[in-house]
Amino acid sequence: NAGVMQNPRHLVRRRGQEARLRCSPMKGHSHVYWYRQLPEEGLKFMVYLQKENIIDESGMPKERFSAEFPKEGPSILRIQQVVRGDSAAYFCASSPTGYSNQPQHFGDGTRLSIL
Amino acid sequence: DQQVKQNSPSLSVQEGRISILNCDYTNSMFDYFLWYKKYPAEGPTFLISISSIKDKNEDGRFTVFLNKSAKHLSLHIVPSQPGDSAVYFCAVADRGSTLGRLYFGRGTQLTVWP
């Protein structure tokens, strides 16, 4: 499967726990974007990463959220001490370059539910 | 502060007819425009795009029109098919930026009935 792979597809956490969402970009893509979709909303940009670098994290909440894209392995979006408002669908997208003249390709998302 | 607006949350069209989905944006810096289609429990799938140097781009049954002066774009699907039933998101970007982020509208749920 050459597409963007996200896991888990569904994640249930209790308030105060940590959530880890993983994203493997398409083969040959070194640029990864995370978006969040709240119910009845469009996708909102969170963070843009290249291998080992955070390029733009202006869409990330200031606290509890972090992201990384290590040299080896998938990109990780981490949410510490989750709260009910974190319940959403989290989508990862990848592209071969960081320029906006190429479409981004999305994974099927991780649906995070907070009890 | 919504920079991309899709004012119709839903659209219902009979099979074989034309579907027209609309999108407005506020920032004249945006110069690359995309449409994504999304089925439930799946990620958005890229459909078609257009850059600001063109006013029309066509791919099979799908055509995107861009009116830069009005900051408006539309997606035409003709003829519409039941398999086109999905949520359609308009997305915009600034090609001059190396940051690559996309700005999305809230989506329009298209239902194509037989």
Least CB–CB distance from A33: residue in B100, B103, B106: B100
Order of strands across the sheet that contains B4-5: B4-5, B19-25, B72-77, B62-67, B56-59
pLDDT-based confidence at B1, cuts 50/70/90? Answer: low
Would you say A34 and A90 are in contact if contact means Cβ atoms under 8 Å apart?
yes
Give the pLDDT confidence score for residue A100 in this predicted structure: 63
Which residues in chain B have their CB less than 8 angstroms from residue A43's CB?
44, 89, 91, 102, 104
Closest residue in A to B4 (Cα) is: A42
E-assigned strands of A43-99?
43-50, 53-56, 65-68, 75-79, 88-95
The 8-class DSSP code of residue A3 comes to S
- pLDDT 10s digits, A72-106: 999 999 999 999 999 999 999 999 877 666 789 99
Q: State mean pLDDT over B64-73.
A: 96
Among B90, B85, B91, which Cα is nearest to B103's?
A: B91
Rg (CA), chain A: 13
Which residue is closest to A6 within chain B, CA to CA? B43
Of the CA atoms within 13 Å of residue B12, those in its CB half-sphere come to 2
Residue of A41 and A21 predicted with greater confidence? A21
Interface test with B, best of A5, A43, A45 (most B CBs within 10 A): A43
Taking the C-alpha atoms of residue A34 and residue A47, their distance in angstroms, rounded to an integer, is 5
Q: Which residues contact B21 (CB under 8 A, 6 or more apart)?
A: B6, B8, B11, B35, B74, B75, B77, B88, B90, B108, B110
Would you call B43 and A104 a contact, using CB atoms and an 8 Å cutoff? no
Q: Are strands B32-38 and B86-93 parallel, antiparallel or unpaired?
A: antiparallel
CB atoms within 10 A of CB A21: 22
Cβ neighbours of A45 in B, within 8 Å: 101-103
Provide the pLDDT for residue A26.
Answer: 94
Beta bridge partners of B86: B110
Residues B18-41 have a mean pLDDT of: 94
